[in-house]
Structure 1
Amino acid sequence: MTWFVIAFPLVTLACVALLLLLMPSITRQTLPLGVSIPQERVGETVVTASVRRYRAGVLGSFVTAVILTLLLVSTAPVAAVIVPLFVFLLLSFGAYWLCRARIQRAKRDHNWYQDVPVRLSSTLTATGAAQRVSTPIGWYIAGVVILAAVAAVGVGRYDALPSPLPIHWNSAGVADGFATKSVWSVFGTLLIGIGMLSFLYLFARLTSRIPMRRVADYTVEQQTSIQQLMQSMIGQIAFVLALILSAISLHGWLAPEATGWAVAISILTPVLIFALIGVFVVRQRRVVLQVSVTAAGMVPQSGTPTRADSPDDDRYWKAGAFYLNRDDPALWVPKRFGVGWTVNLGHPAGIAILAIPVLIVVGVLMFGPGGVRLG
């Protein structure tokens, strides 16, 4: 047993738990736990109590997962990385489901939306073009430059590389997977990196050009700022992935027996990605609070909203996370619980957008370096 077997699952669990605990704070106040409520009901006791119970459930799930990790590390190190995270997510989702059901029940029993004016705002018109955000191409160029520089190192060392070539390392950082030296086994990781950067760039460009649904309780400036933050985060994640894949390639070429390198890469990968998401969450929250303060007239001191609410469309949100509305022409809609946007699964392109990343991951696992080799 190595310290990596303990550190990696615990670090991953802590990062995921922190994000889940923060979610109610970064979600719009009119969407507690993904349930649509009028602005005048934001402070209801059942709402605040349900959010507290949800957070308590996440903390309890985290403690359970940590205990399970410590029990498994000495007997089943591989299971210690996978099983506790699965159990944690399952228990946390159960807490989310039960707590949001209490809010839904109160909303239904007391007719919270009765006589409440609603408005569905949208940028699905020509006016949305003025609010189009830009894609920060610099992050993608930097990622390609790094991958190209590392590829140049590989070209220079190609003849000196051993065959078979180490392509996989176990939890102790020791090489346990090898492949015959070839262009694919040497440069496959970098080629996958180019493919991932290309996909993320095209995805970012697509989301920057397709008009996004704007909700009634967000101003145009607020939503534009959040979209721009999302564009920056996608670019930063692409750059970090390029760094990680470059480090993996250099490790295999220059120091395949350096166990510390493999362990460091495995630990830093989730930490860096979750750190980027955390920075986005903080910056998004700052935008929401700043705009809320400047638009304080939205809810006067009397407590009566002056701006129309978003409609009660809970019926289109499955588990508060998946949007399915075949009558809605919008492809992208704001998430109910979380940050950013999600696709409308009722839109013809919605399923395809979700399927492409899954197919890419399956393809990498099946046919990437160290994957399944036919014949």
Structure 2
Amino acid sequence: MSLLSLTHRTPRQASFGRGLVNLLTAVAVVAGLVAALLAMVGVDPAGTAQAMWSGSFGTLRSTGETLIRATPLLLIALALIPSLRAGLYNIGAPGQMAFGALASTVIALQAPTLPSAILVPACAIGGCLAGALTAFLPGLLKATWRANEIITTLAMNFIAVAVLGYLLTGVMQSDFANLPQSDSLPANSALPTFIPGTRTHIGLLVALLAVPLLWAADRSRLGYRLRIFGANPSLARQAQIRPGRYTIWLMTLGGAGAGLAGWMQVAALDHRLYVGIATPVGYAALFVALLGALHPLGTVLAALAFGALLHGGDSLQVGAGVSPEIVQVLLGLILLAYAIRATTSAATGTEGRTRSWTFWKRS
């Protein structure tokens, strides 16, 4: 078997198994720590867990709310996986999502009389293109001048916040609100729901459709070349793979997914644009992709877990008398424990048999 075939096969299999072990270990450790802390302050850990479960999956409506929390996380995370596998760290999902939501809002407000069959796809395309263009610039800078993509994508996040703040306190601010937000979007721009009694919208189906597409692409010639590009740039050049072209394409793909998530957020849930519409979701999606071990199925599970924690935390105050901020502490501890576990396993050589570690850190 050739060296290229070995490079193609082993990282994917090792990455998912290792990532799942790391994630479960992190969750178990953090769950024990949080339970001990709750017991020390006189709160029943079992009651807290029961309240969170009931808030996440206790009823059909709560399950639907968990799913809509998980949908943008899943879509953005899946769009980021190819670039992360190639060692490109797109930290600009919040800005790309914000510009996607902005473009969708402008289209919906400027063409409110269009039928839904035209307006909904137009808003989706506009959001997707806006997010893609927002990520295209950092990709171009990386490919042309080797500019650090972490810095440039973070800069785009600040630009997005500034642009939204300027517009929403000026020409786009609603006449019926004192807050920096837009007018409500017309009803014919809203995404239809498909589970009666819930707000679960067709955006979930779009996100789930990306799972088999990513799985198929991973096993195609394109996925094979991306693996070479991520694992060994020198070998990629010998295989006549153009790093600049792939860099721009991968960054743009991640931005398109984030822009599409921005459209879903404004068209299905918030129905108006405001400054902080994308900040928590955009950053969390990056962690979802990493916790899912850069694997489509792992990412689905991680997104569902994040969605359950985020929505279940809203029920803690009533169900268990616990501040919902404990969820933020829990998520932070899980990420920290996961990072320590992954770094430790790498340092002890448990991954030395494959090149999969280079998907996380380019050599």
Same fold at TM > 0.5: no
Q: Tell which has more relative contact order, 1 or 2 (C-alpha 8 A, sep 6+).
A: 2
- Larger strand proportion of the pair: 1
TM-score (norm 2): 0.26
TM-score (norm 1): 0.25
- Larger helix proportion of the pair: 2
Query: Which structure would you say has the larger Rg?
Result: 1
